[in-house]
Amino acid sequence: MALLRAIPAALGRLAHPLCARAAAVVAVAAVALLNVGCASGPAQPRVLRAPYDGERVWAVAPFLNESGVSTVDGASVADRFVSEIEEVDGLRCLPLNRTLAAMQQLGMTELGDVRQIYTLMRAMQVDGLVIGTVTDWDPYKPLRFGAAVEVLTVASGSITQPLDLKDLTMPTTDGVAALDGGVLAVSQASRLFDARNNETLRQLELYATGRSDESSALGTRVYELRLDLFTRFGAYVLVRDLLEQEAARLGVPLPGGRAERPPAE
């Protein structure tokens, strides 16, 4: 064994100096590549950014269900949108419980018209309210989720006085005046996400990168198997669509026309 251990050292002494230099260069390059790989770290997810000058506050109302599937929970779907909006640069989103509590205080079971929406927004002091409808729902693989959403937004600073919940006649009057004055604006989006569709799967993989456990055997494919994660992906894309609609409405240019910040930024 001692003889075997001595052979590499003997060969090193006999080797030509140029060969020794080449070996050293290779070793340094290998170490550099290793260090680069270690420094890069885990993949970072894509992030959305709002097209507004300052930070805005949104809220989300429970979704209606027009999918034909009775088991759809509109509040749970809304909560997925809350989570995605909260991660947008330049936006904050109130917890769903805050919206539900405000609706209960106002005696609202759902939002039937724009006056109610304006009343709710004034009660919560938010700049925007997302409302939506689930249009398609299949919890079995291949998963499917469809929704139509819109965000009603107000001009910055137009809702300045909190609503006195003891007087519910004033907000209706104010709401009519606000709508006549063009204070409320609407941006809309709708999509169907079908796990059998290659384009859906491509976007899903982009979204899941940096959000899934890289050490897991499933990796990003876990988003194809769990409906809660699949719905969050759908919420992300629809929120992105709303932000791009808002940017177009406000005349705010977006890099590449997208409200999506690449992970390299």
58: how many CB neighbours lie within 10 A of its CB?
Answer: 26
Give mean pLDDT, residues 132-145: 96
Q: Is residue 157 part of a domain?
A: yes
Give mean pLDDT, residues 127-152: 97
- Give CA–CA dist 230/235, Å, rounded: 9
Contacts of 131 (CB under 8 A, 6+ apart): 60, 61, 63, 111, 117, 149, 150, 152
Q: Is residue 37 part of a domain?
A: no
Q: Is residue 197 part of a domain?
A: yes
pLDDT tens sequence across 235-260: 999 999 999 999 999 999 998 889 99
pLDDT at site 159:
55
CB 31 within 8 A of CB 124: no
Q: Is residue 11 part of a domain?
A: no
Q: Amino acid identity, residue 252? A: V
Counted domains in the chain: 1
What CATH number has the domain bearing residue 153? 3.40.50.10610
**Mean pLDDT for the chain overall:** 81
pLDDT tens sequence across 55-78: 999 999 999 999 999 999 999 999
Q: Is residue 236 part of a domain?
A: yes
What domain range is 198 assigned to?
48-261
φ, ψ dihedrals at 150, nearest 5°? -150, 150
- Give CA–CA dist 183/248, Å, rounded: 17
- Give CA–CA dist 175/169, Å, rounded: 10
Q: Is residue 35 part of a domain?
A: no
pLDDT at site 178:
46
Question: How many residues are there in the chain?
Answer: 265
pTM listed for this prediction: 0.77
3-state secondary structure of 92: strand
Give mean pLDDT, residues 177-202: 83
Give mean pLDDT, residues 100-108: 96
Q: Is residue 52 part of a domain?
A: yes
- HSE, side-chain direction, 13 A CA sphere, residue 91: 30
In terms of pLDDT, which residue wins out, 205 or 41? 205
Q: Residue 9 — very low, low, confident or very high, per pLDDT cuts 50/70/90?
A: low
The candidate with the shortest Cα–Cα distance to 81, out of 94, 90, 67, is 94
Q: Is residue 71 part of a domain?
A: yes
